[in-house]
Structure 1
């Protein structure tokens, strides 16, 4: 029997068991099933005490459309139409069983423990029948409902109306399923690994920390040059912990709409608290210090004061919000900004060994003849992980102009040289009479500098790095 048939029978059996067993809740359904059956108008299950914008109504209606969405099969009925225990109602388009007992037996003979452990509803149903199946394990491994895109969107729709659309432009919310970067894809320093390990343990043992009164924990400040992985690690942590990722750029939230600045800050924190547990990432945190020490508009200063107060009042232990600030300019922060954070995590530019590791990561899907990452790393001193990605991008594009998908070490070395030439343009005074600014003098063209400069200065989301002792697992890239 084909895998599509097994997928459809699993969905139908899950729908039957879930509809019959009122002790099960949406957290017992695999995320793909929740997405297919979620309704913003459904009466929510308030048993968790959490805000629940919508829910899943019983009985689950297994129309062909819903089954197709849940199983990612275009024609699910075709996959099971020849089974003796399945039927399809022409009028409603529902697919179901003529004999549930026969369906259960058929599925049990073909499903292994790994499949059942990915489905808490069926893990409970088959727990006594299939070896190595444990409902509690399946439930713990299942992504929580509050991390689903559908749940996030329903909550945001509930919180904001059309008048608040500007606010949603300032705050970006990602579901963990939308974060492709994982911690295993990153190259981390020992310091970064240590801090992440402590945070993971703090989240796991929140109740214990609250019991002993240790509440001022879980506010991190990431400091380092652009392109060194501050955003990447924050997002990867959201993926690792199955937490929504709430991101706000402080320069935008305090400058876009002067009359609404303090209100926007309050709403940003309100979003984080309502989406909790989540990660709340504040980029460009040095903007706080710039504003406090300048003659900025009074409304912006009020917003910054509101921001600092809100940071004081939010807690990982009480509110289940992990707060991470990031800055490229730590020297601009004053003591009022520094003392808001209980941990400072350094993001240095990579050394030779770190760059070599990063190159191995970002080229692992490429075909490169005579690839020598150590030699290439020696030629890229001062470049960040983001810079190295740009180098590889240019090498690939240059090869494609020659109809090649196989690169050489020389392609990469040439790309490094081109990158450094473009980077040097940043230091030129575009208003002087330098011969270097005349076409043909030392450079064929400088027309794409604006694009490259933008990429280079905003490369935070590309990479993180490791010390030369490399305590990393399977590395990858964003």
Structure 2
């Protein structure tokens, strides 16, 4: 059985059990419940003595507001007011059980073992009553606290004061729940899948690797043209492993708003270590080589040297930080940059078979008559996954201008042609000696009233390449 009443009774019962059982911790609450009860004001962490970035204080307050926030039901009392064992205090908005035993019996008769495995608090409470319900299994299935947005925000707020606000221009932190892509949504090469699988195993067996002294592992460099999936693959890995994703664009350290650049590089690594276990993604890594070989300002060079030293000192095994660098220009990296990484993962442009697979996944929620992904892949040689996504977007928008939501193969082929024409515009010499060449309509047949489409440069779409989240 499912429905509002069951969801709300489960929430209230979970809050009651959690408040009474002092051995339970926030990791035993489902993530939506944690958000509802989270407080930025919390006592210091007993293990470190440092101020905690936030927490959940007992007893939990069960009100219409917290129920709505956790369950999504705008009027929770309406859903359970007819139950004999519930009551509401109008002044405070508190909702309670008048008969706890009756509430538990009602819930036990309607819940399932699978549902309980999504709630460690109740899995422990009802473990003896249901076959297949195991607290440890439920705990392992539950998203860890460090992956929650509330935890991340509280920690960042604690780390950064008003003077550090400029750091937010340097570091972007995503909770895994905010990453829409999963590895299953991507079309990867066999080599990419193998390297990702190796790093997953390394994360799972960190203690073993530490025990045998193998610590130089967990620093990857993704190399390949723009749009081939480097950033997206790293984010998808964060989603699948339930790890916060910390991203820094290295070129940002030259920003006039960032002040003391070396200090900010240190701060970025500190964020990663405090959010550990996490993925620390450094985009535009070729910037390091450019800076080292140029006449850049001494402060910038110091920042890059600080960066290289910080890379040497961070570890997946000791710090629980998986470090991934990405570059579109591996030819610009020097030996000092290459030797910082223990694995190099190549992200080439997709071949015919990969393009066909990408098209199949991108279009899986679309209605297309006579769709032939293999034929379309044959027309898109040299295009990246990001390019293919833009082609599909163009086809969809063109169909919508004709009030159609069903596409045809011809629509897709026409969109490929449009995309190639737009791509050719990038190679035009905009400083032509002929001023008339830059006037709309010139150079066209007098009877041709068509217009070129205005698109953003697809290289600026980011590494959305072999991503397959639809057009």
Paired residue total: 465
Q: Is the 8 A contact 2:182 2:239 kept in 1?
A: yes
Give, in whole Å, the separation in 2 of the partners of 1:222 and 1:231. Answer: 9
Per-residue CA deviation, residues 267-321 of structure 1 (Å, 9 max, x unaligned), is 1101101111000000000000000000011111000000000000000000000
- Spell out the pairing of 1:417-436 with structure 2 (5 A cutoff): 417-433=417-433
What residue number does 1:310 align with? Answer: 310
Q: Is the 8 A contact 2:258 2:264 kept in 1?
A: no
What residue number does 1:462 align with? Answer: 464
Q: Is the 8 A contact 1:186 1:477 kept in 2?
A: no
What residue number does 1:407 align with? Answer: 407
The alpha carbon displacement at 1:89 in A equals 1.4
Is 1:452 aligned to residue 456 of structure 2? yes
The alpha carbon displacement at 1:192 in A equals 0.8
Give, in whole Å, the separation in 1 of the partners of 2:250 and 2:5. Answer: 50
Q: Is the 8 A contact 2:209 2:317 kept in 1?
A: yes
Q: Is the 8 A contact 1:51 1:274 kept in 2?
A: no
The alpha carbon displacement at 1:170 in A equals 1.6
Give, in whole Å, the separation in 2 of the partners of 1:50 and 1:477. Answer: 45
The alpha carbon displacement at 1:47 in A equals 5.1
Write out the 4+ residue segments of structure 1 that deviate beyond 6 Å after TM superposition: 48-51
The alpha carbon displacement at 1:446 in A equals 4.9
The alpha carbon displacement at 1:464 in A equals 2.7
Give, in whole Å, the separation in 1 of the partners of 2:116 and 2:45. Answer: 24
Flag the structure with more relative contact order, 1 or 2, with Cα contacts below 8 A and sequence separation at least 6.
Answer: 1
CA distance 1:259–1:12, change in 2 (3 Å): closer
The alpha carbon displacement at 1:51 in A equals 7.0
The alpha carbon displacement at 1:438 in A equals 4.6
What residue number does 2:213 align with? Answer: 213
Give, in whole Å, the separation in 2 of the partners of 1:223 and 1:445. Answer: 37
Give, in whole Å, the separation in 2 of the partners of 1:229 and 1:395. Answer: 22
Give, in whole Å, the separation in 2 of the partners of 1:177 and 1:49. Answer: 29
Q: Is the 8 A contact 1:221 1:344 kept in 2?
A: yes
- Spell out the pairing of 1:340-351 with structure 2 (5 A cutoff): 340-351=340-351
- Spell out the pairing of 1:94-109 with structure 2 (5 A cutoff): 94-109=94-109
**SS of 1:365 mapped into structure 2:** coil
What residue number does 1:118 align with? Answer: 118
The alpha carbon displacement at 1:45 in A equals 5.4
Q: Is the 8 A contact 2:389 2:470 kept in 1?
A: no
* Unpaired segments ≥5 residues, structure 2: none
What residue number does 1:468 align with? Answer: none
Give, in whole Å, the separation in 2 of the partners of 1:336 and 1:201. Answer: 27
Give, in whole Å, the separation in 1 of the partners of 2:49 and 2:163. Answer: 28
Give, in whole Å, the separation in 1 of the partners of 2:200 and 2:342. Answer: 15
What residue number does 1:439 align with? Answer: 440
The alpha carbon displacement at 1:427 in A equals 1.4
Q: Is the 8 A contact 2:365 2:470 kept in 1?
A: no
The alpha carbon displacement at 1:256 in A equals 3.6
Give, in whole Å, the separation in 2 of the partners of 1:318 and 1:206. Answer: 8
The alpha carbon displacement at 1:43 in A equals 2.5
Q: Is the 8 A contact 1:184 1:476 kept in 2?
A: no
The alpha carbon displacement at 1:101 in A equals 1.0
Give, in whole Å, the separation in 1 of the partners of 2:47 and 2:13. Answer: 25
- TM-score of the two chains, using structure 1 as the length reference: 0.94
- Between 1:434-443 and 1:36-45, the stretch displaced more is 434-443
The alpha carbon displacement at 1:188 in A equals 1.1
Give, in whole Å, the separation in 1 of the partners of 2:340 and 2:260. Answer: 24
Give, in whole Å, the separation in 1 of the partners of 2:349 and 2:168. Answer: 33
Is 1:291 aligned to residue 295 of structure 2? no
Per-residue CA deviation, residues 308-337 of structure 1 (Å, 9 max, x unaligned), is 000000000000000000000000000000
- TM-score of the two chains, using structure 2 as the length reference: 0.95
Per-residue CA deviation, residues 38-62 of structure 1 (Å, 9 max, x unaligned), is 0011326545999731100101000
What residue number does 2:203 align with? Answer: 203
The alpha carbon displacement at 1:439 in A equals 2.9
What residue number does 1:151 align with? Answer: 151
Give, in whole Å, the separation in 2 of the partners of 1:51 and 1:321. Answer: 22
What residue number does 2:36 align with? Answer: 36
What residue number does 2:173 align with? Answer: 173
Q: Alignment RMSD, CA only?
A: 1.8
Q: Is the 8 A contact 1:259 1:299 kept in 2?
A: no
Give, in whole Å, the separation in 1 of the partners of 2:48 and 2:84. Answer: 40
What residue number does 1:471 align with? Answer: none
What residue number does 1:394 align with? Answer: 394
Q: Is the 8 A contact 2:387 2:465 kept in 1?
A: no
